[in-house]
Amino acid sequence: MAVANLARPASSWHAVAAACLAGTLTLGPAAYASHTPHAPMPPSASMSPSPTPMPGTSDMNATNGLSAQQGGYTLTSHTAALPAGKAATYRFTITGSSGRPITAFALNQTKRLHFYVVRSDLTGFQHLHPTMAGDGTWTAHLAALQPGHWRLFTQFTPETGPGKGRDFVLSRTLTVPAATTALPPPSASTMVDGYTLTLRGDLKAGMMSPLTVMIGKDGKPVTDLQPYLDTYAHLTAFHQGDQAFAHLHPQTKVIGGHGGPALQFMTDLTVSGNWRLFLQFQTAGVLHTAAVTLHVR
């Protein structure tokens, strides 16, 4: 700023200088204008304009990463689900406003795209650099993920489209389901705590069907079953698929602590298919729970 445009009496300059030294005065266009009301400030004397964003930077909405769409670009997932506990592949594209995949990306720290995988509770993290096929499909090879909710981030700088030269962070969420254990197949026997349970019966859906459970240990019949819930055994059954419930009691009358080895049940299982039976019985004050799968016709 030219000093000639700010001519003031010497006393006024002394006051200004003292205020500046004391840190109590801020000079700006309005302050100057009040002393030169008829002379507009030259361009060189105006306040500095807002800095021009550097290449590769963008506003907060483009970089907070909590959306799959921003500025005409969309993160499109080609993978519907990921397994728990084992390595997996995730495929995706970055599409423009036309819906076609973008294939031109600028280098950012030597990579054209950075890929982050973060668990919702922030206990899991991966930083990967996927590879892109000629059609714009990116492939990321993920290490094993634990069950839970995950957010998958992509960071890139497109070289085409309305956001050319700007840095974008787009993300999508994905749930990794807990690993499931296959239901054991139907069987006529099972074991628990050293006891062997053998089942006999032809169960039919919607009909009262007899079921006999024999309990043995070390090749000998067990005859010391103790009462549990006022019976020698408690049997609960659940249907595979919809978890339909059935609660059964043995027909054997309780006479002291000398139950077994045979327990007689009358079943009334409403639908056909596999049922998982949980039979509880007590010996020497210890409760045992045996599980077995039965098929109902």
Q: pLDDT > 90: what percent of the chain?
A: 71
- The domain spans of the chain are 60-176, 189-296
Position 238 scores a pLDDT of 95
Q: 189-296: same fold as 60-176? A: yes
pLDDT tens for each residue of 138-174 = 999 999 999 999 999 999 999 999 999 999 999 999 9
Average pLDDT in the chain: 82
Residue 68 CA to residue 84 CA, distance in Å, equals: 23
Angle made by CA atoms 35, 37, 41, in degrees to the nearest 5:
90
Longest dimension (CA), the chain: 118
What's the pLDDT score for residue 249? 78
**Strand-pair partners of 192:** 195
Residue of 155, 149, 153 whose CA lies nearest to 171: 153
The end-to-end CA distance of the chain, in Å, is: 97
CB 199 within 8 A of CB 212: yes
| 60-176 topology per CATH | Immunoglobulin-like (2.60.40)
Asked if the model's pLDDT at residue 275 lies above 50, the reply is yes
What mean pLDDT comes out for the span 105-132? 96
Tell me the CATH number for domain 189-296.
2.60.40.1930
63 to 60, 110, 186: CA distances (angstroms): 5, 19, 55
Of 34, 33, 29, give the one whose Cα is nearest residue 45: 29
pLDDT per residue as tens digits for the range 212-251: 999 999 999 999 999 999 899 999 999 999 999 999 878 8
pLDDT in tens, 42-67: 333 322 333 333 333 344 444 589 99
CB 65 within 8 A of CB 153: yes
